[in-house]
């Protein structure tokens, strides 16, 4: 089993990252003088995520590419900009098999992924209903999502799968807004918004969707799959469609649940965010650090994998699902088993 390595999140503008022997050195200039902020063993790091104006030495770029250390760059809103990709790994025959999947098999994979996504979304709503007061929107969503899951069992057409996924998302996010407790919940989240996010909850989930999507992309490359060739999300230049496919399985279970916890526990409030002149909402530095700390803690938790029937760390789930998809495409599994928590 793959070992879960540490992820490093760099959010301080103007810092400089470089390699010194077998360590990663993080420095910043203060009044013209270099100031060391951190020095850690470089081989203990699996991913480096840089937000804002971060500088990286050519030697560190080369090390990341050669050793498969995931290095990705984002703007301060969490919008993905670029990443470092080293040598292509895996068997070229696996990628050929991925590229040659026919329409029927593609729809089958997409159908399983969408059903798993909706099942996890419904489970999050049911957990909230069990522990807190419910609302008509939550009850309606729980019932309709169950119906859509049942419908998906018999859907052979891609457009129908996509339509049901869109309807489920609309019901889910309407109910999701009701899960933020207190009179200020409408200030926190009204509806899903992107580029830029229009409220604090969207700012958090957009950031984490972006980071988790890049981790999934790295996991897919690690088993030899092309992250740009998807089954649910169709190919588009510059888009990691397959990584977005696998991300659907984790949106509610990992990201949406983290946002719910942060705001309902008052770890974050509206005061931790700023709104620009165009209505875009951005996290303050301390809030962003808190989000990443909570995300890292979540990745360390263990869960029973429904297909493997083994307890695994949540942070390893992208690698496990990439492996299972590769096994399916090679013909070792008759179907792709997406991740969906059962209780």
Over residues 326-341, the pLDDT tens digits come to 889 988 889 999 998 8
Report residue 94's pLDDT band, with 50, 70 and 90 as the boundaries: confident
Burial class of residue 330 (count of CB atoms within 10 Å of its CB; 0-12, 13-18, 19+): middle
Q: Where are the beta strands (DSSP E) in the chain?
A: 6-10, 16-20, 23-30, 33-41, 45-51, 55-56, 70-74, 80-84, 273-275, 281-283, 302-304, 311-313
Q: How far apart are CA 254 and CA 266, in angstroms?
A: 19
Q: 287-306 burial, b if ≥16 CB within 10 A, otherwise e?
A: bbebbbebbeebbeeeeebe
Q: How far apart are CA 299 and CA 293, in angstroms?
A: 10
113 pLDDT higher than 50: yes
All domains in the chain, ordered by first residue: 6-84 (3.100.10.20), 92-330 (1.20.120.920)
Asked which of 5-14, 171-180, 207-216, 301-310 is least confident by mean pLDDT, the reply is 5-14
- Name the token pair of 281: 């909402």
CB proximity list for 133: less than 8 A, separation 6 or greater: none
CA neighbours closer than 13 Å in the CB half-sphere of residue 2: 18
1 pLDDT higher than 50: no
Instruction: Supply the pTM of this predicted model.
Output: 0.82
Q: pLDDT of 125-136, one tens digit each?
A: 999 998 888 889
Q: How far apart are CA 325 and CA 132, in angstroms?
A: 37
């Amino acid at each position: 089993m793959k070992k879960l390595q540490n992820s490093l999140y760099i959010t301080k503008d103007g810092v400089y990252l470089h390699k010194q022997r077998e360590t990663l050195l993080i420095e910043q200039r203060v009044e013209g003088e270099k100031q060391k902020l951190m020095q850690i063993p470089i081989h203990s790091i699996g991913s480096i995520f840089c937000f804002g104006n971060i500088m990286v030495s050519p030697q560190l770029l080369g090390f990341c590419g050669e050793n498969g250390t995931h290095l990705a760059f984002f703007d301060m809103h969490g919008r993905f900009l670029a990443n470092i990709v080293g040598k292509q790994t895996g068997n070229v025959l696996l990628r050929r098999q991925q590229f040659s999947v026919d329409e029927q098999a593609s729809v089958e994979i997409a159908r399983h992924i969408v059903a798993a996504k909706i099942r996890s979304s419904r489970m999050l709503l049911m957990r909230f209903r069990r522990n807190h007061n419910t609302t008509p929107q939550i009850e309606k969503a729980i019932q309709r999502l169950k119906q859509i899951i049942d419908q998906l069992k018999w859907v052979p057409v891609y457009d129908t799968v996509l339509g049901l996924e869109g309807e489920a998302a609309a019901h889910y996010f309407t109910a999701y807004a009701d899960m933020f407790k207190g009179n200020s919940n409408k200030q926190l989240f009204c509806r899903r918004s992107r580029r830029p996010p229009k409220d604090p909850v969207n700012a958090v989930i957009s950031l984490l969707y972006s980071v988790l999507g890049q981790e999934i992309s790295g996991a897919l490359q690690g088993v030899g799959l092309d992250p740009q060739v998807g089954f649910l999300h169709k190919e588009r230049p510059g888009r990691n469609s397959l990584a977005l496919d696998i991300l659907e399985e984790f949106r509610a279970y990992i990201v949406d649940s983290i946002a719910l916890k942060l705001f309902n526990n008052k770890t974050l409030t509206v005061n931790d965010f700023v709104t620009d002149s165009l209505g875009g909402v951005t996290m303050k530095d301390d809030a962003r650090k808190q989000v990443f700390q909570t995300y890292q803690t979540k990745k360390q938790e263990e869960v029973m994998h429904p297909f493997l029937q083994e307890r695994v760390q949540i942070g390893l789930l992208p690698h496990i699902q990439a492996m299972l998809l590769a096994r399916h495409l090679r013909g070792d599994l008759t179907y792709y088993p997406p991740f969906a928590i059962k209780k």
